[in-house]
Amino acid sequence: MIRAALIGNPNVGKTEIFNRLTGLSQNVGNFPGVTVEKKAGRLVHKGQQIELVDLPGTYSLTAHAVDELVARDYIVIERPDVIVDIVDGSNLERNLYLTMLLLEMDANLVIALNRWDMVAARDTRIDVEKLSRLLGCPVVPTAAITGEGLKELKDSIVDVAGQKRAEGPKSAINYGDDIEQLVKRRQRTHAASGGASEALPHEVGARPSRSEPKLNTHALYPSRSELRGITFKNKQS
């Protein structure tokens, strides 16, 4: 059984995708301790049972609002095998903020680049391959309203679930020189105190490990300015 969760900003098409993937095999309840509706459903793909949860729409994972708290707790505590991050392709940069937070939490990600029908109708194109390479996870263009790309999305969920999870955090985001230097300084203090000082933001969601207090802050991922290079004007128009 693969346990997967759908996450994304509000109104990006999570429920539309959830309904299309799970059809009628859904049940509705509440997340524990809160009156936030929890929709769970099942599907079978390539002979694999997949349990899918539709998380509340959220811009962030700071847990300041109840929806953020529910989404964050689900990821940290339940640790689903795959997190499907539904990104509104017609509003890419704003949506990628949550993606960055998920990468920081070392989530096993598949990205659905939804509203692809709207992206396709514009004079801007998205370099999907480059985005996938930069983020280090599969990126699947989808149009939930037509069903386009949903088979490929299911393929990616099964593929990613089958990949062996890396031990500990595998990546961190490059925030630019100033912040990276600050983080490095904090890491040194953190290591010197035997990992006893308060947790760094990078560690939220990471499994605590006393023997390995150092964090990987190498620039495996691009800065925001680099990410801007993945959309480009369509020359034909």
Ligand X SMILES: Nc1nc2c(ncn2[C@@H]2O[C@H](COP(=O)(O)OP(=O)(O)OP(=O)(O)O)[C@@H](O)[C@H]2O)c(=O)[nH]1
Give the binding site for ligand X (CB under 6 A): 8, 10-16, 57, 114-115, 117-118, 143-145
Tokens, residue 66: 């109840």
State which residue, 123 or 167, has the beta carbon closest to ligand X: 123
The one of Mg ion, ligand X, none whose footprint includes residue 10, by CB under 5 to 8 A per kind, is ligand X
State which residue, 37 or 93, has the beta carbon closest to ligand X: 37
The CA-atom distances, in angstroms, between 61 and each of 103, 108, 122, 163 are 12, 16, 31, 25
Residue nearest to ligand X (CB): 57
State which residue, 40 or 191, has the beta carbon closest to Mg ion: 40
State which residue, 140 or 215, has the beta carbon closest to ligand X: 140
* CB 185, min distance to ligand X, A: 38
The one of ligand X, Mg ion, none whose footprint includes residue 138, by CB under 5 to 8 A per kind, is none
Q: Contact with Mg ion (CB under 5 A): which of 3, 15, 40, 212?
A: 15
* CB 53, min distance to Mg ion, A: 12
Maximum CA extent, the chain: 58
# chain residues binding Mg ion, by CB under 5 A: 2
Q: Note whether 26 binds Mg ion by CB under 5 A.
A: no
Query: Which residue, 215, 226, 86, 219, is CA-closest to 144?
Result: 86
* CB 55, min distance to ligand X, A: 9
What burial letters (b/e) apply to 82-107, b meaning 16+ CB within 10 Å?
Answer: bbbbbbbbbebeebbebbebbbbbbb
- Residues in contact with 65: Cβ distance below 8 Å, sequence separation at least 6, in sequence order: 58
* CB 6, min distance to ligand X, A: 8
- In the block, residue with structure tokens 């640790």: 79
* CB 105, min distance to ligand X, A: 19
State which residue, 15 or 60, has the beta carbon closest to Mg ion: 15
The one of Mg ion, ligand X, none whose footprint includes residue 145, by CB under 5 to 8 A per kind, is ligand X
- Backbone Cα Rg of the chain: 18
State which residue, 21 or 215, has the beta carbon closest to ligand X: 21
* CB 144, min distance to ligand X, A: 3
Per the CB < 8 A criterion, the answer to whether 80 and 74 are in contact is yes
DSSP string covering 27-96:
EEEE-TTS--EEEEEEEEETTEEEEEEEPPP-S--SS-SHHHHHHHHIIIII--SEEEEEEEGGGHHHHH
Distance from C-alpha of 124 to C-alpha of 132, rounded to nearest angstrom: 18
List of residues contacting Mg ion (CB under 5 A): 14-15
